[in-house]
Amino acid sequence: MRVLHDVPHCPHEEECLMSQAIGWNNFVDTTALPEYRRLRLLEELFDPFSLRQLDCVGIQPGWQCLEIGAGAGSIAERLAELAGPANVVATDLNLTFLDPIADLGVTVLHHDVTVDEAPGRFDLIHTRFVLDHLPEREAVIRKLASWLKPGGWLMLEIGTTLPALSSHPANQRSMTVLADVMAERVGTAPEWARTLPVPLEEAGLTDCAAEGMIMPARGGGPLAHWLKCTTKLVEEHAVATGMITRDELAEAYANYDQPSFVDYTWMTVAARGRRV
Sequence letter at residue 147: W
The pLDDT of residue 22 is 74
Task: DSSP letter for 156, please.
Answer: E
Mean pLDDT of 208-235: 97
d(CA 38, CA 270): 21
Confidence of residue 121 (pLDDT cuts 50, 70, 90): very high
Asked if the model's pLDDT at residue 2 lies above 60, the reply is no
- For the stretch 124-165, pLDDT in tens is 999 999 999 998 999 999 999 999 999 999 999 999 999 999
- For the stretch 79-119, pLDDT in tens is 999 999 999 999 999 999 999 999 999 999 999 999 999 99
Burial class of residue 14, CB neighbours in 10 A (0-12, 13-18, 19+): exposed
Confidence of residue 13 (pLDDT cuts 50, 70, 90): very low
Among 41, 38, 203, which Cα is nearest to 125's? 203
Strand, helix or coil for residue 92 = strand
Residue 62 CB contacts under 8 Å (≥ 6 apart), including other chains: 83, 84, 87
Asked if the model's pLDDT at residue 8 lies above 60, the reply is no
Strands 206-214 and 217-218: unpaired
Contact between 78 and 54 under an 8 Å Cβ cutoff? The reply is yes
The pLDDT of residue 10 is 40
